[in-house]
Structure 1
Amino acid sequence: MSLNRPYADVGELPEILPLFPLSGAILLPRGELPLNVFEPRYLAMVDDSIAGARLIGMIQPMLGDDASAERTQLYDIGCAGRLTRFAETGDGRYLITLTGVSRFRVLDELEVQTPYRQCRVIYDEFSEDLLTGAGAAAVDRESMVSMLRNFAECSKLEVDWASIDAAPTETLVNALAMMCPFGANDKQALVEAIDLKTRAETLVALAKLDLAQRNVGRTQWH
């Protein structure tokens, strides 16, 4: 998705980000993450983001326990997303979409008066996240799609393969990384992959491991 406010350099991104800790939900550059926001602290965060830089940091809690995420330890790396869609539901919720801009590394958490958490972050090591399609040429797209078709079939995932086949490689890799039903640690490995090629290879490795474990389970039962 193209942004009305593109960022040419990581120096344009804010040093302080509001954080949305959510286990199992990751955001990647130019990916789109729809969210149903209902907790008062995150409703306040959306209000403040709309009035400010419109950027929210998606990050996973280390323990995978959102219910106690107020002071749960967080992973060091997340992804900043720009609030690109917003709707009120009439029953106190917001339906929003974040579009991924760049990954960040947490430097330290701030003591704040807001009900939501805020951290000081740095983007420098992820500057290529701002370049559309960076690293796409190095991805073995054919083998990745082949493996993930098998994985989707076994996992009974509904995938629009026509759209997948037509999508640019970067869009394909990041969308599949965001939607595949892996655990929080595996999802974090996809966030932290140094480049698109590594992320695609990690996706394939995780899918192979998942399929192998299922086959072992079936063998044990027979």
Structure 2
Amino acid sequence: MTDSVDTPETSEIPLFPLSGVLLPWGRMPLRIFERRYLDLVRDCMRRDSGFGVVWIRRGEEVAQRGQASPELGDWGTYARIVDWDQLKDGLLGITIEGRQRFGLHATRVADGGLVMGEVSLEPPPAPAPVQADWGALVEVLQSLETHPHVQRMGLSIDYDNAWQVCYALAQLLPLEESLKYSLLGLDELPQLVAALNEVLNRISGED
């Protein structure tokens, strides 16, 4: 993972609020048509920089972590553009990849309508080995990677890094966005693994 930050210093970055949650190492396709986001994509590609993806709560009851905005989640994921193309409908299509998490403390609307966020970027978690009893997570993720839609994303997953396995799996599973948001907010790997195992048990009907 690149663009790492060693200290939790606060900085201002452009935000792309979405109804979906982006997790570290996850990839997401976007259709760009608003002028403010076309300008954002242009600037990011020119400067080789990224932007913050933050979830639009839409009034749902979610965990609190500061008070950045009543409409936006209190934490999100810094993203980089990894691919782009002109779509058949003439719009710009991009693929973004999640990098590190950030806490969102305040927002303002800049000229042109782009939302800017005061954020504290967190360093990426140190790679952690996949334990033997976490094999179900690996198996499900490997099966999802065979799907043509997932293959088009061009994922490159390090199956020796449990953090990457968990985040990639959470991104690909058909979960409610509020649940993905809560998974993004977990700070400890065992908590994340336990939550994903509970999700898989529920999907398989074991719970």
TM-score of the two chains, using structure 1 as the length reference: 0.69
1:63 and 2:58 correspond: yes
Deviations 1:60-99, CA, capped at 9 Å, x for gaps? 111179xxxxx87101010001222233347542222222
SS state at 2:21 partner? coil
Higher helix share: 1
Mapped to 2, the partners of 1:159 and 1:121 lie a distance apart of: 32
Mapped to 2, the partners of 1:112 and 1:48 lie a distance apart of: 15
Deviations 1:14-38, CA, capped at 9 Å, x for gaps? 811211122233231x333332323
2:108 is matched with: 110
Larger RCO of the pair (alpha carbons < 8 Å, separation 6+): 2
| Cα pair 1:7 1:130 within 8 Å, conserved | no
Aligned residue among 31, 38, 41 for 1:36: 31
SS state at 1:115 partner? coil
| Cα pair 2:81 2:94 within 8 Å, conserved | yes
Q: Tell me which amino acid in the other structure corresponds to 1:19.
A: L
Mapped to 2, the partners of 1:101 and 1:158 lie a distance apart of: 21
Mapped to 2, the partners of 1:205 and 1:24 lie a distance apart of: 21
| Cα pair 2:51 2:80 within 8 Å, conserved | yes
2:159 is matched with: 167
| Cα pair 2:125 2:163 within 8 Å, conserved | no
Mapped to 1, the partners of 2:156 and 2:133 lie a distance apart of: 15
Aligned residue among 131, 136, 155 for 2:129: 136
Residues 1:18 and 1:110: Cα distance change in structure 2 (over 3 Å): same
Aligned residue among 59, 64, 77 for 2:75: 77
Mapped to 1, the partners of 2:44 and 2:8 lie a distance apart of: 16
Deviations 1:73-131, CA, capped at 9 Å, x for gaps? 101010001222233347542222222221000010023113221111012xx32x164
Mapped to 1, the partners of 2:23 and 2:28 lie a distance apart of: 6
Aligned residue among 3, 12, 25 for 2:21: 25
2:172 is matched with: 179
Q: Tell me which amino acid in the other structure corresponds to 1:109.
A: T
Larger Rg: 1
Residues 1:92 and 1:120: Cα distance change in structure 2 (over 3 Å): farther
Q: CA RMSD in A?
A: 3.6
Higher strand share: 2
1:219 is matched with: none
| Cα pair 2:15 2:51 within 8 Å, conserved | yes
Mapped to 1, the partners of 2:131 and 2:22 lie a distance apart of: 23
| Structure 1 residue ranges without an equivalent (≥5) | 66-70, 217-222
| Cα pair 1:35 1:97 within 8 Å, conserved | yes
Residues 1:12 and 1:47: Cα distance change in structure 2 (over 3 Å): farther
Q: Tell me which amino acid in the other structure corresponds to 1:118.
A: M
Mapped to 2, the partners of 1:83 and 1:141 lie a distance apart of: 31
Identity of aligned residues (%): 22
| Cα pair 1:139 1:196 within 8 Å, conserved | no
TM-score of the two chains, using structure 2 as the length reference: 0.73
1:101 is matched with: 99
| Cα pair 2:158 2:164 within 8 Å, conserved | no
